[in-house]
């Protein structure tokens, strides 16, 4: 039997030629890129490592808002780059810098060169060339919050949580009335407004999924809630403590998610029902958050079991390997026929963990349940480093399987095709 290294090279070569369905992107539109407003700070997730490397709150603020002081933001980034370039994020970015921009080492001079190449590097029609020709990506599932035009091989995952489910004050409620064209004076009317809004989007966009990213705001424990409990929480949007100074009745009062949980839970269940009735997949962020000092126990994938049990016709797609709850995440894909596992973002969170866990997941998760790649990125250029890392990881995990005799070389190639192309194509109805 060939050694693991030669098996890896053989599989890696085959995988390089496979078509890919990119299951999750936040790609900025060509129209926006042509305005030349993007910067190196959106080139992957390397900025998310600044806090872990010891950046202060003020330094993090400068890096998060580079347009306020570009030079200061660049100094912060470069200060910590020697320590962040070795992480999964940093290595993916370094690969993109080298292969796409011709930059071997990032410093003050090359940072300015990079900024200029990003500002001027995209022209009309560029996205078709990048995705179809360079990356061999046949279709993209897009998660954005704009009305820009995208090439026809982009399909939409509809956002709804931030507008409707996370409403926590009267001012936002009035905006939802404007957005949906509906009067909203009860939890039921808020549900109807959310459905009306989503139905218009389904008709106007090539929608294949709904996206629930509430893990950034609250626990993923979405208990079933009665309409009466939801209405009581809804009423808090109108309740204001008495104020004595003039004009105080106009002030916005935000409510905590704990206060609003009965209404939010009600709306989450109603959004899942929407997905069921309209034949859409239902995507959920699980595990690690992008950004700084976020708490993750509330984003454990196991908290979602009640949804899987109740809505058995809905195809639930769990994101990001559930990292660091990877085994729990995998068991859900094994135990529930309507749960699918998406490795988007996971390949660069920790390449080593991804290889180890893919080796393990394939021991107990049927190989038609795993989706192999989603970039989860904003700039088309940065997909390069992530996709190459994903191809590496899948080849390494499968080479280990073949080297141990778990299955033969032909089976390994078939599994790679399933992960990168066949599974997402079937799940999202892209046939």
Residue 65 has which token pair?
Answer: 């808002």
Q: Which domain holds residue 165?
A: 4-38+124-427
What is the separation of C-alpha 245 from the centre of its chain, rounded to a whole number of angstroms? 45
Q: Count other Cβ atoms within 10 Å, centred on residue 197.
A: 19
Q: Is residue 141 part of a domain?
A: yes
Q: Is residue 151 part of a domain?
A: yes
SS3 284: strand
DSSP character at residue 421: I
- Residue where the block lists tokens 């990032």: 106
Q: Is residue 71 part of a domain?
A: no
Q: Is residue 107 part of a domain?
A: no
**CB 367 within 8 Å of CB 419:** yes
Burial 97-117 (b: 16+ CB within 10 A, else e): beebbebeebeeebbeebbee
pLDDT for the residue numbered 1: 55
Q: Is residue 398 part of a domain?
A: yes
**CB 27 within 8 Å of CB 137:** no
Residue numbers of the chain with a pLDDT score lower than 50: 241-251
pLDDT for the residue numbered 122: 93
Counting Cα atoms < 13 Å in the Cβ hemisphere of 105 gives 2
Rounded to whole angstroms, the Cα distance separating 210 from 204 reads 14
Of 428, 430, 431, nearest to 279 (Cα)? 428
Measured between its terminal Cα atoms, the distance across the chain in Å is 37
Which residues fall within 8 angstroms of residue 115, CB to CB, at 6 or more apart? 39, 40, 70
Using one digit for the tens of pLDDT, what is the confidence trace for 13-41? 999 999 999 999 999 999 999 998 888 88
DSSP character at residue 135: S
Of 145, 283, 146, nearest to 208 (Cα)? 283
pLDDT for the residue numbered 248: 46
Q: Is residue 49 part of a domain?
A: no
Instruction: Assign residue 414 the CATH number of its domain.
Output: 3.20.20.140
Rounded to whole angstroms, the Cα distance separating 381 from 130 reads 8
Rounded to whole angstroms, the Cα distance separating 345 from 327 reads 17
The sign of the torsion formed by the CA atoms of 366, 368, 370, 372 equals positive
What one-character-per-residue DSSP string does 320-340 give? Answer: GGGTT-HHHHHHHHHH-TTEE
pLDDT for the residue numbered 243: 44
Residue 9 has which token pair?
Answer: 């090279």
pLDDT for the residue numbered 252: 59
- Residue where the block lists tokens 């060509």: 30
Q: Is residue 139 part of a domain?
A: yes
**Domain count of the chain?**
1
pLDDT for the residue numbered 222: 97
Q: Is residue 64 part of a domain?
A: no
362-366, long-range: CB < 8 A, 24+ apart: 362/397, 362/401, 362/415, 363/406, 364/330, 364/331, 364/334, 365/330, 365/333, 365/334, 365/341, 366/334
Radius of gyration of the chain from its Cα atoms, rounded to whole angstroms: 23
Residue 85 has which token pair?
Answer: 């370039």
**CB 333 within 8 Å of CB 341:** yes
Residue 397 has which token pair?
Answer: 């995990």
């Amino acid at each position: 039997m060939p050694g693991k290294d030669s098996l890896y090279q053989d599989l890696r070569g085959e995988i390089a030629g496979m078509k890919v369905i990119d299951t999750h992107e936040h790609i900025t539109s060509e129209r926006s890129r042509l305005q030349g407003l993007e910067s190196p700070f959106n080139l992957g997730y390397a900025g998310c490592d600044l806090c872990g490397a010891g950046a202060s709150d003020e330094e993090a603020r400068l890096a998060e808002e580079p347009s306020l002081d570009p030079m200061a933001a660049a100094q912060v980034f470069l200060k910590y780059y020697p320590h962040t370039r070795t992480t999964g994020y940093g290595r993916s970015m370094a690969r993109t810098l080298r292969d796409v921009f011709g930059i071997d080492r990032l410093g003050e001079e090359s940072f300015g060169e990079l900024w200029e190449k990003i500002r001027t590097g995209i022209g009309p029609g560029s996205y078709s060339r990048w995705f179809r020709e360079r990356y061999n990506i046949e279709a993209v599932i897009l998660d954005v919050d704009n009305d820009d035009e995208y090439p026809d091989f982009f399909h939409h995952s509809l956002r709804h949580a931030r507008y409707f489910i996370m409403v926590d004050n009267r001012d936002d409620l009035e905006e939802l009335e404007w957005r949906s064209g509906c009067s909203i004076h009860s939890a039921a009317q808020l549900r109807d407004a959310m459905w009306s809004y989503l139905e218009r989007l389904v008709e106007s966009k090539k929608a294949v999924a709904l996206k629930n990213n509430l893990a950034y705001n609250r626990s993923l424990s979405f208990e079933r809630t009665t309409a009466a409990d939801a209405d009581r929480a809804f009423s808090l949007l109108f309740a204001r403590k008495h104020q004595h100074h003039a004009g105080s009745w106009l002030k916005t009062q935000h409510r905590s998610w704990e206060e609003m949980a009965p209404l939010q839970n009600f709306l989450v269940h109603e959004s899942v029902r929407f997905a069921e009735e309209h034949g859409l997949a239902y995507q959920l962020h699980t595990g690690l958050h992008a950004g700084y000092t976020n708490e993750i126990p509330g984003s454990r994938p196991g908290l979602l079991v009640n949804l899987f049990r109740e809505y058995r016709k809905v195809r639930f797609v769990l994101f990001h390997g559930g990292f660091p709850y990877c085994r729990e995440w995998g068991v859900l894909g094994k135990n529930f026929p309507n749960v699918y596992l998406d490795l988007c973002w996971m390949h660069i969170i920790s390449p080593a963990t991804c290889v180890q866990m893919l080796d393990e997941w394939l021991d107990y998760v049927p190989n038609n349940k795993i989706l192999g790649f989603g970039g989860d990125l904003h700039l088309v250029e940065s997909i390069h480093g992530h996709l190459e890392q994903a191809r590496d990881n899948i080849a390494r995990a499968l080479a280990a399987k073949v080297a141990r005799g778990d299955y033969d070389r032909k089976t390994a190639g078939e599994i790679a095709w399933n992960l990168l192309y066949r599974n997402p194509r079937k799940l999202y109805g892209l046939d």
